[in-house]
Amino acid sequence: MKQSEGSTSHGRDDRVLDVRGLCTRYGTSQVLFNVDLHVPSHGSVAVLGRNGAGKTTLLKSIVGEVKPFRGAVAVRGRECTAAHTEQLVRLGLGYVPQDQAVFGGLTVAENLRVGAMGAPRGSGTMDQVLAMFPKLGRRLSQRAATLSGGERKMLAIGRALLSDPALLLLDEPTEGVWIAVVEEIAERLIALAQTRSVLLVEQHVDLALRVADYAYVLERGHIVLHGPSDEIRHHPDLYRYLAP
C-alpha cells in the first residue's frame, strides 16, 4: 500500500487502462494533479473520495469528455489521450456516467439497442443483460424517463454492457437509488467484476471495496492513497480523507 502517488503492483503488460500524470482543469481551475492510475486486465479498481475530489472529472478525462492538458491515457496498450469518446468505446471502454445515464425519450429496448451499436466484438447480447437485470425485461416498451432511479441505473449498466467492454467505467452507480435496491446492484457489480475489468467511482465505501480488489483515494485532485482493497479498508487515514 502506498501513501502517495506512484505505480501500482500491476504489471504494465497486464493493464487494460494506464493513466499517467493526468492533469485536467476547467478554465483556470485545475481539478486533477498528476494522477497515475492503472486497471489490470482481470481485476476491478475503485476510486474513492469525498464530493469535489475530482472522481467524476477523472472518469470524464479518461473517456475523452474532458480533455486533460497534460498526461496520458492508454487503453489496452494504445495511447488514446486525444481520442474521441466514441473511439474509446470501440477500443473496449464502456462508460456509465453519473447523471443522465439513459436516453429518457427512448424506450428501454431502444436504449439497449443503442448500447449494442458500439459493440466492437459483437458478443454482448440483450438476453445476457436481461438475465442480469430481469426487471428491465418487463419494461422493454416503456420510456426510460418513466423508470425508477434503480431501474435507470440497471438500464445504464445494461446499455454499457451491450458493447461488450473490456473495461467498464461506472460513475456512482448507486447514487440516488433506494437503499433496498443498492444491495441488488452491488450483487450484480460483484458478479460483473468476475467477468471483466471494472473501474468504479462510488460514494458507498463498503460497497466499492467489496466490488474492487484495488482502490485509489483522491483528495482535491491528488491520489493520496492506493493499495489492495483489504488494506485500504483498514487504513487509519481512510476516513480522514473521506469525511465530508
Partner 1 sequence: MDVPRLAGIAFDVLSLSSILVLLVLGMGIIVSMMGIFNLAHGELVLLGAFTVYLAHKVGLGVGLGIVLAPIVVGAAGLLLERSVVRHFYSRPISALLATWAVGMMIRESVRAGLHGRSEVVVAPFSGTFAIGNVYLSQWRVAIVLLTVAVIAASYLLLQRTRVGLQVRATLDNASLARASGIATGRVYALTFAFGSALAGLAGALIVPLFALYADLGVTFLVRSFLAVMVGGVGSFEGPILGAGAVGLGSGVLPWVVAPVLADALVFVIAIALMRFMPNGLVHRG
Residues that bind partner 1 (CB under 8 A): 63, 65, 84-86, 89-90, 95, 97, 100-106, 110, 113-115, 117-119, 145, 159-160, 163
Grid cell, residue 62, equals 479518461
**Cβ of residue 98: shortest distance to partner 1, in angstroms?**
11
**Cβ of residue 105: shortest distance to partner 1, in angstroms?**
5
Amino acid at 219: E
Considering only CA atoms, give the Rg of the chain: 17
| Nearer CB in complex with partner 1: 38/60 | 60
**Cβ of residue 231: shortest distance to partner 1, in angstroms?**
32
Distances (CA, A) of 132 to 113, 175, 184, 192: 16, 20, 11, 9
Concatenated DSSP letters of 60-93: HHHHTSS--SEEEEEETTEE-TT--HHHHHHHTE
Quote the Cα angle for 206-212-215, to 5°: 85
List, in sequence order, every residue forming a beta bridge with 103; answer none if it has no partner: none
**Cβ of residue 135: shortest distance to partner 1, in angstroms?**
21
**Cβ of residue 88: shortest distance to partner 1, in angstroms?**
9
| Nearer CB in complex with partner 1: 57/163 | 163
| Nearer CB in complex with partner 1: 117/191 | 117
The CB density around residue 157, as the number of other CB atoms within 10 Å, is 25
| Nearer CB in complex with partner 1: 42/84 | 84
| Nearer CB in complex with partner 1: 84/240 | 84
Concatenated DSSP letters of 173-230: TTTT--HHHHHHHHHHHHHHHHHSEEEEE-S-HHHHHHH-SEEEEEETTEEEEEEEHH
| Nearer CB in complex with partner 1: 34/142 | 142
**Cβ of residue 91: shortest distance to partner 1, in angstroms?**
10
Amino acid at 66: V
